[in-house]
């Protein structure tokens, strides 16, 4: 074959290849447009069904009005900061032009203290190697850092209003990240070219499915929702439901030792999330580990409320929930007292119950353990930003059916880490068309619960807004209670990086238990990982200091001893000192009877399913 003929054949093959590629791209783009139309139809239908939205549902305008007033009152500070930004942007532009022109000269790095650090969303090589995308990245990091620094430091503002302004400013700058936009993200552009647009088809199909799952609201999947199932590969520690009422199922777990400690242990988890965070899988399960240490373990599984539970009050959660579970666990084991263990809002409720029992001189609880539980809400972290009198009105409208829909609380928690839990998945799922990685913790995180209207409003109003428990203005069944009414031994765990129950806030509440003997422990990591930290993982560390006289957590830490690994072993030793002798292992339901196998049916009710899943 001569060279001319070979060249002609190669050109024809290339032409055919380009034609086929063009057809493939055109087909995918047509499908993209079709699915986009379906998405818009579902979204708009959901908005029409919702009715006219509030113009400012989170009540941000008064906060930003105060911020703007503060900026007008401090023109020199704002002008100086603006000039500094312009100078930094000019240097950045010069650096970028040198890089664009291929200059080999060393480029002077920007030295700006407020410039944000590049996170994992800028990991693709084009963000650093390509002059255009590198400029987009650097300009964004510089400008967004400047915005947040200015909002946080200009003039004088009420600290709570300042925190609120900073929080919502952070939401804005994270949304404006160039990685969130198709045309500005080199990884998305590269994938679209390589895959002929198939990534967009997959991503939009996923978005359509997530809209269906959220009934018209975008419910971003953070993991493979089909990879896990409660009772199959999560929440699998064997046990029986031994009691149930309108609010709870009480689970008793099967023993793993021939002898068990006499005094049983009852766990009160938060009802904002499901209890199986403490029983995710055999390697991470606190429940399984406690059973293996010789404890008889009971856990409350809260109902996922609907319109039937709208009138349930905070006191109902205390007495129909917590106290009833205590009585039934004692009846089942024949003991006179037990250890009460509580987590997050379950701990807030347990604190009010223990204060009420303290006022009654009731001895049914031998010791109380709190995991990341706030009792003093003077400075209750970023969630407090969402709560004011205006928000109570919005919450009231949301809960006209008798409960706050589960997606409302899930959205609030996701906003606390929007880069990781919202925007990262928007790009990965819907633009890159990648299936989320199977992760049991994120499956649990997506398994949200609704909030009963009356109890949730009480929680927001009396704790987050009025701080009534710490201030001594809270009453239960007509009896005023305070933190100083909590008696007996207390094991109190805070986590160092907690954004939901800040460690300093938890410590302040622990100090106010003046009649209790408190062992305060500070764990490494955050609200979940700092609690769900089995010893076998050998992760993190914890700090202990028997002296509770320091006024602040920082001062307490100065005299604290650091221990590597999990605090579970320290807690287990503390419990065993107060658990009595060994007795024969207990068969779940021997006295009360067994209703159904753990994890029970209440935990299987999902807000994105119309009916409870079958056991």
- Report, as residue numbers or ranges, the catalytic residues: 344
Here the tokens at position 357 are 């029992």
Characterise 30 by phi-psi region: left (phi > 0), alpha (psi -120 to 50), beta (else): alpha
| Contacting residues for 607 by C-beta, under 8 A, at least 6 apart | 304, 405, 406, 407, 448, 449, 450
Helix (H) or strand (E) holding 413, with range, is helix 406-416
Spatial distance between the Cα atoms of 199 and 25, rounded to a whole number of angstroms: 11
Q: In sequence order, what are the beta bridge partners of 299?
A: 251, 267
**β-strands 265-268, 451-452: how paired?**
unpaired
Classify burial at 12, counting beta carbons within 10 Å of its beta carbon; exposed 0-12, middle 13-18, buried 19 or more. exposed
What does the DSSP assignment read for 66-83?
Answer: HHHHHHHT-HHHHHHHHH
Helix (H) or strand (E) holding 61, with range, is helix 61-72
Longest CA–CA span in the chain (Å) reads 104
Here the tokens at position 585 are 């292992």
What residue spans of 101-197 are helical by DSSP H?
126-129, 131-153, 159-175, 186-194
Spatial distance between the Cα atoms of 216 and 207, rounded to a whole number of angstroms: 11
DSSP letter at 592? T
What residue spans of 548-615 are helical by DSSP H?
553-558, 568-576
Closest CA to 242 of 338, 332, 341, 346: 332
CB 318 within 8 A of CB 248: no
Classify burial at 33, counting beta carbons within 10 Å of its beta carbon; exposed 0-12, middle 13-18, buried 19 or more. exposed
In the 3-class helix/strand/coil scheme, how is 270-309 assigned residue by residue? Answer: CCCCCHHHHHCCCCCCHHHHHHHCCCCEEEEEECCCCHHH
Give the distance from CA 228 to its chain's centroid.
19
Closest CA to 187 of 118, 124, 119, 136: 124
């Amino acid at each position: 074959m001569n060279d001319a003929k070979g060249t002609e054949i190669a050109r024809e093959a290339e032409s055919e290849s380009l034609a086929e590629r063009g057809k493939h791209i055109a087909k995918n783009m047509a499908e993209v447009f079709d699915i986009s139309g379906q998405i818009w139809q579902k979204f708009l239908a959901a908005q029409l069904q919702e009715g006219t939205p509030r113009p400012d549902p989170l009540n941000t305008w008064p906060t930003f009005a105060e911020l703007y007033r503060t900026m007008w009152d401090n023109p020199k500070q704002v002008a100086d900061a603006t000039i500094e930004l312009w100078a930094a942007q000019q240097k950045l532009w010069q650096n970028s032009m040198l890089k664009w022109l291929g200059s080999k000269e060393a480029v002077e790095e920007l030295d700006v203290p407020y410039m944000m650090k590049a996170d994992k969303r800028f990991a693709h090589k084009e963000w650093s190697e390509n002059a255009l995308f590198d400029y987009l990245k650097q300009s964004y990091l510089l400008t967004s850092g400047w915005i947040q620094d200015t909002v946080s430091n200009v003039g004088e503002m009420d600290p709570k209003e300042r925190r609120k302004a900073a929080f919502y400013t952070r939401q804005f700058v994270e949304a404006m990240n160039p990685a969130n936009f198709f045309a500005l993200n080199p990884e998305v552009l590269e994938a679209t070219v390589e895959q002929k647009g198939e990534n967009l088809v997959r991503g939009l199909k996923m978005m359509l499915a997530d809209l269906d799952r959220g009934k018209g609201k975008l419910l971003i999947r953070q993991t493979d929702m089909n990879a896990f199932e409660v009772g199959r590969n999560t929440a699998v520690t064997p046990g029986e439901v031994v009691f149930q009422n309108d609010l709870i199922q009480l689970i008793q777990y099967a023993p793993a030792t021939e002898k068990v400690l006499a005094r049983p242990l009852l766990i009160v988890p938060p009802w904002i999330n499901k209890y199986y965070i403490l029983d995710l899988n055999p390697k991470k399960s606190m429940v399984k580990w406690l059973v293996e240490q010789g404890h008889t373990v009971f856990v409350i599984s809260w109902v996922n409320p609907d319109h039937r539970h709208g009138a349930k009050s905070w006191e109902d959660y205390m007495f129909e929930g917590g106290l009833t579970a205590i009585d039934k666990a004692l009846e089942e084991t024949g003991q006179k007292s037990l250890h009460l263990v509580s987590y997050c809002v379950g701990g807030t409720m347990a604190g009010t119950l223990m204060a009420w029992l303290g006022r009654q001189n009731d001895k049914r609880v031998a010791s109380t353990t709190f995991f990341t539980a706030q009792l003093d809400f003077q400075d209750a972290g970023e969630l407090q930003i969402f709560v004011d009198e205006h928000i109570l009105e919005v919450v009231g409208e949301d809960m006209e059916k008798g409960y706050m829909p589960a997606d409302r609380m899930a959205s609030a928690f996701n906003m606390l880490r929007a880069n990781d839990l919202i925007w990262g998945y928007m790009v990965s799922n819907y633009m890159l068309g990648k299936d989320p990685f199977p992760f049991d913790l994120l499956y649990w995180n997506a398994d949200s619960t609704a909030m009963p209207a009356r109890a949730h409003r009480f929680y927001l109003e009396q704790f987050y807004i009025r701080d009534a428990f710490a201030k001594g203005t809270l009453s239960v069944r007509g009896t005023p209670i305070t933190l100083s009414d909590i008696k007996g031994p207390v094991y109190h765990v805070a986590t160092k990086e907690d954004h939901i129950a800040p460690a300093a806030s938890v410590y302040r509440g622990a100090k106010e238990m003046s009649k209790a003997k408190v062992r305060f422990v500070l764990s490494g990591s955050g609200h979940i990982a700092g609690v769900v930290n089995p010893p076998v993982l050998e992760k993190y560390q914890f700090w202990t200091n028997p002296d509770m006289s320091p006024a602040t957590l920082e001062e307490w830490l100065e005299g604290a001893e650091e221990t590597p690994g999990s605090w579970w072993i320290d807690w287990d030793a503390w419990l065993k000192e107060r658990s009595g002798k060994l007795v024969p292992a207990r068969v779940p339901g021997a006295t009360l009877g067994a209703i159904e196998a753990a994890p029970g049916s209440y935990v299987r009710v999902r807000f994105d399913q119309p009916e409870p899943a079958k056991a």
